[in-house]
């Protein structure tokens, strides 16, 4: 698990990253381009756009604002989404395997059927998010906030839940987690 994260990190350090401004990105996307592998879009504002089925593998979207964005079936594998805003975004069936979502804001996001395996989600906020049938296996969910989230039928195999908050969340078996909420 950690070896693949280290190899991914090394790969990212050795590859050239293409910095794009938001206007260039949108122009190319609107012309039909869908492969934006390893592009640097850190801090950009992409709110409310339809970016379904886009490939942003190994891209840098740290501190980007993707609130309300349609990312259905997007490929975000090994993507840096540290401190990104994905409030009310649609990530249904998105591939977020090995992505870095540390301190990301995903309140009210839809991650139904998403693949989030081997991902880093330390301190991520999933308040009121839908993670129904999402696969979070082998991910680090330390200190993540799942208050009022729906995790029905989600896969949480071999995850790190240290300090994670599940107050009033629907758990994979359908039960609502009651109590103080920390695991």
The CATH number of whichever domain residue 177 belongs to comes to 2.160.20.80
> Which of residues 7 and 84 earns the better pLDDT score?
84
Average pLDDT, the chain: 91
Would strands 39-40 and 18-19 be described as parallel, antiparallel, or unpaired? parallel
Q: Count of CB atoms within 10 A of residue 11's CB?
A: 12
* pLDDT tens by residue, 62-106: 999 999 999 999 999 999 999 999 999 999 999 999 999 999 999
> Which of residues 126 and 177 earns the better pLDDT score?
126
* pLDDT tens by residue, 55-70: 999 999 999 999 999 9
pLDDT of residue 16: 66
Q: What CA–CA distance (Å, rounded) separates 47 from 10?
A: 30
Structural domains of the chain, count: 1
Q: Which of 3-7, 14-18, 69-73, 133-137 has the lowest mean pLDDT?
A: 3-7
> Which of residues 105 and 175 earns the better pLDDT score?
105
pLDDT category of residue 1 using cuts at 50, 70 and 90: very low
Pair 143, 164: CB distance under 8 Å:
yes
Which phi and psi angles does 7 have, rounded to 5°? -60, -40
Question: What percent of the chain lies above the pLDDT cut of 90?
Answer: 86
Q: What is the mean pLDDT of residues 105-124?
A: 99
Own/partner long-range contacts of 34-38 (Cβ < 8 Å, ≥24 apart): 38/12
Q: What CA–CA distance (Å, rounded) separates 136 from 153?
A: 11
Q: What CA–CA distance (Å, rounded) separates 11 from 50?
A: 29
Which of 47, 34, 41 lies closest to 59, judged by CA?
41
Considering the entire predicted model, what is its pTM?
0.88
Residue range of the domain that includes 144:
1-183
pLDDT of residue 17: 72
């Amino acid at each position: 698990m950690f070896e693949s994260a280290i190899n991914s990190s090394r790969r990212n350090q050795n590859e050239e990253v293409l910095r794009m401004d938001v206007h260039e990105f949108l122009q190319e996307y609107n012309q039909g381009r869908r492969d934006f592998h390893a592009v640097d879009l850190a801090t950009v504002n992409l709110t409310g756009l339809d970016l379904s089925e886009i490939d942003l593998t190994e891209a840098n979207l740290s501190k980007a604002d993707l609130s309300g964005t349609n990312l259905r079936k997007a490929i975000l594998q090994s993507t840096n989404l540290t401190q990104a805003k994905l409030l009310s975004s649609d990530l249904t069936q998105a591939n977020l395997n090995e992505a870095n979502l540390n301190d990301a804001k995903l309140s009210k996001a839809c991650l139904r059927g998403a693949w989030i395996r081997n991902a880093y989600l330390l301190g991520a906020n999933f308040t009121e998010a839908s993670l129904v049938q999402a696969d979070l296996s082998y991910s680090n969910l330390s200190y993540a906030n799942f208050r009022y989230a729906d995790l029905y039928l989600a896969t949480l195999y071999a995850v790190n839940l240290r300090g994670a908050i599940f107050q009033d969340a629907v758990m994979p078996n359908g039960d609502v987690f009651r109590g103080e909420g920390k695991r």
